[in-house]
Structures are given as structure tokens and as C-alpha cells.
Amino acid sequence: MDRIPILKMGDALLITIQVDMHDRLALALEEDLTAKIAATRAKGVLIDISSLEIVDSFIGRMLDNIAAVSRMLDADTVVVGMRPAVAITLVELGLSLTGVKTALNVERGMLLIQKRLRGLGDFSGRRS
Amino acid sequence: MAATADWNGVIARRRDEIIQGWLNFLRAEGALQTGRIKDAELQSECGRVLALVAPDLAHAGDRSPASDELSQTLSALSRSRALQGFTPSETANFVLGLKPALFGAVAAEYAGQGDLIAAATLDATRKLDRLALITIEAYQRSREEVIIRQQREISELSTPVVKLWDGILALPLIGTLDSERTQVVMENLLQSIVDTSAEIAIIDITGVPTVDTLVAQHLLKTVAAARLMGADCVVSGIRPQIAQTMVHLGVELNVVSKASLADALALALQRIGKRVTDVPQALAAPDYSR
Amino acid sequence: MAVVRDDVMPVRSSDDIVRVRQEVRARAIEIGLSLVDQTKIVTAASELARNTLDYGGGGTARLEIVHEGMRRGLRLTFEDEGPGIPDIALALKDGWTSGKGLGLGLSGARRLSNEFTLDSRPGEGTRVTIVRWS
Ligand SMILES: Nc1ncnc2c1ncn2[C@@H]1O[C@H](COP(=O)(O)OP(=O)(O)OP(=O)(O)O)[C@@H](O)[C@H]1O
Ligand SMILES: [Mg+2]
């Protein structure tokens, strides 16, 4: 079975989701990532979903779970690149992903993680 | 069973006479007066439609094998009539104008057979009336399409998203917001956020007289969607009555709001790490107005 | 309402869900839905297909293109012969789940569609139909 690659970028891990994920792939990602955070002591996780054409409650729950697990392992999760149509749909679906931080692109997401590492900015909870 | 009119035969034999009668009727009704359509064009349309009407009339049931093509042809005709600015009655008259010519032809063909003529006339009336309805419907439909397209264009034109600073967008809304327009506008805003990599979007509703619950909800959903994309929204210029509506909706909790666009801009600049300060008098730009 | 095109697909595995999503997307484009509306119906389909698989024990997805007057629509029907839903009103409530879900699938799919019907009988199965108009 294929798995989604997890790249290390400085203190953060970068996951780029490019395919229309089936459910097993999503579950495998959750597991792999947890192991990788523990192994690398990463302080941040960037999940790039700019290629995703939809996010349903299953993927939404996966993102929430990843954020919750990362938090316990002292890493912050930033979901980056959500498309407008996906965001509108997700809101309508009723999913607000309150536990995850968001950024427009990988670069901004990285800045967000670095800010927190340098002790700058309020990273305890995103203002909404 | 009584003999019935042989429509195919009648129309084949008297084609030119029928078309002439039809055209004369249309000309008398003023179909050409406005100059929106040329005589030659009208003539070829009549010929085309008559060729399809013949098998339809000859067919005993309601729908003949030619029905589909006939209604498609008529729909296309009405569509272009609608776009050319013809009225609905002018459009329907095109088909109805065939009646006198057809009846004349049948009467001449079956002279002395009163019953047959009456039955044929009745049958043709029923069928042509149905065709007239098809043209009216198609006419109406294309007008509606035009209206919908125009509404969309207007709402896009009337709500430009402007860039105030690197990373800061503003959407100054003016006029009454209905649910449809709000949706278009909000989608535009979210796309602009991506296109310009904006971190903050200011939605200014100073120019909006009232906000109903549906619109307020769209506004909130947009703020939520922008957040999911990684951008923040600030709403500015909320009028007191609107504030009240929002409170009744229980929505005041989740939007950052500022009294004026200027206040919102100051907040936005601060968020992206910029500050506006006073420049000492001596350094300020010279005042050329004196 | 005239049905112009009609296809039935199996929903028996999570790969089937992916296929249903792709087919729904293709049909949504075909009838000229806007990008946002396409995304809405594909997401609703994903939710309902997953319910068919997870709770209904598998079933079918039917994709129909329908015409009514000047509008065209995409009608999707998800059907299974599983245990059914004992309390439909409850199942439709935001946040209610009998398992470990978020309980947003049914209520969300309803919000994402223009029309929504749910028929279910305990012991017989469940059928959910949604329509999105262009
Ligand atoms: N096809 C079905 N057959 C039987 N029960 C169903 C079916 N679809 C939904 N249900 C029941 O309705 C409940 C609500 O469904 P819904 O999709 O809203 O939430 P969920 O699947 O539990 O979570 P989510 O979809 O948010 O991940 C389910 O928990 C399940 O008990
Ligand atoms: Mg579900």
C-alpha cells in the first residue's frame, strides 16, 4: 500500500497531500506522523492541502486528530493552502477545525511555526 | 372513420401559396417594421418551420417523430427573437400567423367537404397553439437567462475587492445585500485572498443599510472560510441596527469588528507588523496649498 | 422531471468511495455547476457513500442527471440493505453519532444539497437522495 511521504524541514515536518485520499491512506498517515514526530522531536507539522479538491468529515477528523496528537507531543499543526471552494464547503458541512492553525501557504505556515519557536507571537490558540 | 386531410400532400402542393399567405400575415402584423429582421431571413425561417410542421400535422397523435426537431427549431428561433428585443406576442405571432394560410389552403383543397375542413382546421389549431406555447416558453426562458447573467455581472461589478496594502484587502460593500449577491461577493473575496496572498481582509459594510439573517450568516461563513484558508477578516462600519440583528443571531462573538474602515486598517497594519506614526512637523511634506 | 443519464455504482470499499467522488465531480462539471457547487455535491456524496459503507455494510450509489424546466440537476441516491436508522430525527442532528464520527455527515450533506430525502426502516435498509440544481 502506498503511503504519504513525510519530509523534515528544519524543526518541522512537511506533509503534502496530493491524491484523492482513500480512508486507509488517511489512517496510515495519522500513524506514520505520530511516530515521526516522536522520532524527530519536530516542533511543528505543516500539512499542505492545496491540491485537495474536497475535505469531508473524514479528512477533517484526521486533521483534527493529527493536531491533537501533535499538541500532546509538543508540536504545532498548521494546515496550509486550503482552497476557497473547499473552505466554503467545509463551513457549510459544519466543520470548523478549531484545533488546527491555518496559513495561506507553506512559507507562511513555516513562519508561524518559527515565530512560536523563537517565543514570539501568541501561539497558544489562534484568535478567531 | 371519416376521411382526414392529407396534410403532407396539401402542404407539398401548395407550399408557395402557404408561405406567401403566412408572410403577408406577418408583414401586415408589422414583423418587419422595426428592421430587426430582414424579409429574406423571415422567408427562409417560414420555409424551414413549414417543412417540420407538415409531418407534425400529418401525424395522428400528439407527438410526431418530427416534434423534437420542431420544438428545438422553434425554441432557437424564439431565443434569437428574445435577444433581438421582440415582444412575447410578436414572437408567438410567428407561429400563429401560419394558421390563416393553412386554413385557406385546406379550404381550397377540399372545397365542398365541410366536415373534413372543420376537423382539419380544429386539429391544426390545437397543434399550432401548442407550438405557440413552446415559443413563448423558450422566449421566457432566454429572457430569464439574460436576467440571471446580468444580475451576476452587476453584483461582480459593484463589489470590487481592493488591495489596501501588501497583505491587506478591503471589500467595501455598498447597497442592499441579498443572499445571492452576498454569496458571489464572498466567493470573490476568498479567491482574491488566494490571488494576492492576503493575510487580512476587511469587509466594510458602512454602505449597507440593512442586513438580514441570511446575509449575516453568509458574512459569518465567509469569515470562517477565510480562517480555514489562513486569513483573518475584520468587519468594519457596522450600523447600530445591524449590530442588533447580529446580536440577536448570536453572532457577535466570532467576528473582530471595528467602527470604521480607518480603524480596521490600523488594526490590520498592526497585525502584519506595521505602524502608522506622526511625522515631526519639520519633516512633514511641504504644504503646497498655501 | 426528465432523467437524462443514469448510472449505478457499487459502494463496497473505500476505493469505491473515491470512485464515486470522481464520477460525481465529472457529472457536476457536465451539468455546469459552479466550482463551489461542485465541491459541495462531491463532499455530500463522500459523506453519504461513507455512511453506506460503514453503517449500511455496503450498497450502491446512483448518479442521475435530471432536467426540470430550464434547470439541470444532479440527483444522487445512496442505498443499502443494512440495519437502517431507528431514529431518523436524531441521526439528522448535528453532532449525533452512534459511532466515533463527528455526526456531521447526514446533517452536513443536507445543508450542502438543494433537496434531501432520507428513507430508512430498521432491519431493511437506508436510502438517501440528494439533488443539486445548476
Ligand atoms: N446508511 C446508514 N445505515 C445505518 N445507519 C446510518 C446510516 N447512515 C447514517 N447512519 C446513522 O446515523 C448516524 C449519523 O450519521 P452521520 O453521517 O451524520 O454521522 P457519523 O457518520 O456518525 O459521523 P461523520 O459522518 O461526521 O464522520 C450514524 O452515526 C449512524 O448511526
Ligand atoms: Mg457519516
Instruction: Convert the pLDDT of each residue in C81-120 to its tens digit.
Output: 999 999 999 999 999 999 888 899 999 999 999 999 999 9
Q: How confident is the model at residue A124 (pLDDT cuts 50, 70, 90)?
A: very low
| CA of C116 vs chain A CAs: smallest distance (Å) | 14
Q: Which residue of C has its CA nearest to A52?
A: C39
Confidence at residue A1, expressed as pLDDT on a 0 to 100 scale? 58
User: A-B interface: how many C-beta pairs under 8 angstroms?
Assistant: 62
Domain boundaries, chain A: 6-117
From A113-127, B141-155, B178-192, B245-259, the region with the lowest mean pLDDT: A113-127
User: What DSSP state is assigned to residue B231?
Assistant: -
For the cut 90, the answer to whether the pLDDT of residue A37 exceeds it is yes
Residue in A54, A57, A93, A96 to alter for ligand 1 test, most ligand atoms within 8 A of Cβ: A57
Domains in chain C, number: 1
For the cut 60, the answer to whether the pLDDT of residue C13 exceeds it is yes
Query: Ligand 1 centroid vs A89 CA: distance in angstroms?
Result: 19
Q: How confident is the model at residue B289 (pLDDT cuts 50, 70, 90)?
A: low
Q: How confident is the model at residue B251 (pLDDT cuts 50, 70, 90)?
A: low
- Over residues A78-105, the mean pLDDT reads 94
Residues linked to residue C65 through DSSP beta bridges, in sequence order: C5, C74
User: What DSSP state is assigned to residue A96?
Assistant: -
**C-beta atoms of C46 and A86 within 8 A:** no
Q: Which residue of C has its CA nearest to B139?
A: C70
Query: Ligand 1 centroid vs B244 CA: distance in angstroms?
Result: 37
The angle formed by the CA atoms of residues C39, C45 and C46, to the nearest 5 degrees, is: 90
User: Where is C91: in which H helix or E strand?
Assistant: helix C88-91
**C-beta atoms of A84 and B193 within 8 A:** yes
Query: Ligand 1 centroid vs C103 CA: distance in angstroms?
Result: 6
Residue in C54, C88, C98 to alter for ligand 1 test, most ligand atoms within 8 A of Cβ: C98
Greater confidence, B85 or A17? A17
Specify the CATH number for the domain of residue C73: 3.30.565.10
**C-beta atoms of A95 and C102 within 8 A:** yes
Per residue in B64-76, pLDDT (tens digit) is 777 888 888 999 9
Radius of gyration of chain B (CA): 32
* Boundaries of domain holding C16: 2-133
Greater confidence, B28 or A47? A47
- Over residues A22-48, the mean pLDDT reads 90
Q: Check CB contact of B141 with chain C, cutoff 8 Å.
A: yes
For residue C36, list chain B residues with Cβ-Cβ distance below 8 A: 187
Q: What's the mean per-residue pLDDT of chain B? A: 86
Confidence at residue A126, expressed as pLDDT on a 0 to 100 scale? 44
Distance CA B174, CA A88 (A): 23
Distance CA B28, CA B90 (A): 12
Q: How confident is the model at residue B1 (pLDDT cuts 50, 70, 90)?
A: very low
Confidence at residue B284, expressed as pLDDT on a 0 to 100 scale? 66
**C-beta atoms of C94 and A86 within 8 A:** no
List residues near ligand 1 (CB under 6 A): A 57; C 47, 51-52, 55-56, 80, 82-85, 91, 96-99, 101-107, 126
Confidence at residue B290, expressed as pLDDT on a 0 to 100 scale? 59
For residue A22, list chain C residues with Cβ-Cβ distance below 8 A: 14-15, 17-18
Task: For residue A122, give the 3-state DSSP assignment.
Answer: coil
Share of chain B above pLDDT 70, in %: 93
Candidate ranges A21-30, A82-91, B176-185; pick with highest mean pLDDT:
A82-91
Q: What is the CATH number of domain A6-117?
A: 3.30.750.24
Per residue in B120-151, pLDDT (tens digit) is 999 899 999 999 999 999 999 888 888 888 87
Per residue in C35-91, pLDDT (tens digit) is 999 999 999 999 999 999 999 999 999 999 998 877 899 999 999 999 999 999 999
Confidence at residue B160, expressed as pLDDT on a 0 to 100 scale? 83
Which one, of C69, C78, C70, lies nearest residue C113 by Cα?
C78
Residues linked to residue C62 through DSSP beta bridges, in sequence order: C8, C77
Confidence at residue C100, expressed as pLDDT on a 0 to 100 scale? 84
Ligand nearest to the CA of C82: 1
Query: Ligand 1 centroid vs A51 CA: distance in angstroms?
Result: 28
Q: How far apart are the first and last CA of chain A?
A: 39
**C-beta atoms of B144 and C70 within 8 A:** yes
Sheet strand arrangement including B256-258: B162-165, B168-174, B200-207, B232-236, B256-258
Confidence at residue B214, expressed as pLDDT on a 0 to 100 scale? 80
Confidence at residue B282, expressed as pLDDT on a 0 to 100 scale? 67
- Over residues B98-127, the mean pLDDT reads 91
- What type of residue sits at position B206? T
For residue A23, list chain C residues with Cβ-Cβ distance below 8 A: 14, 17, 50
Complex ipTM, two decimals?
A: 0.92
For the cut 90, the answer to whether the pLDDT of residue B238 exceeds it is no
Domains of chain B: 7-152 (1.10.490), 162-274 (3.30.750.24)
Residues linked to residue C74 through DSSP beta bridges, in sequence order: C65, C132
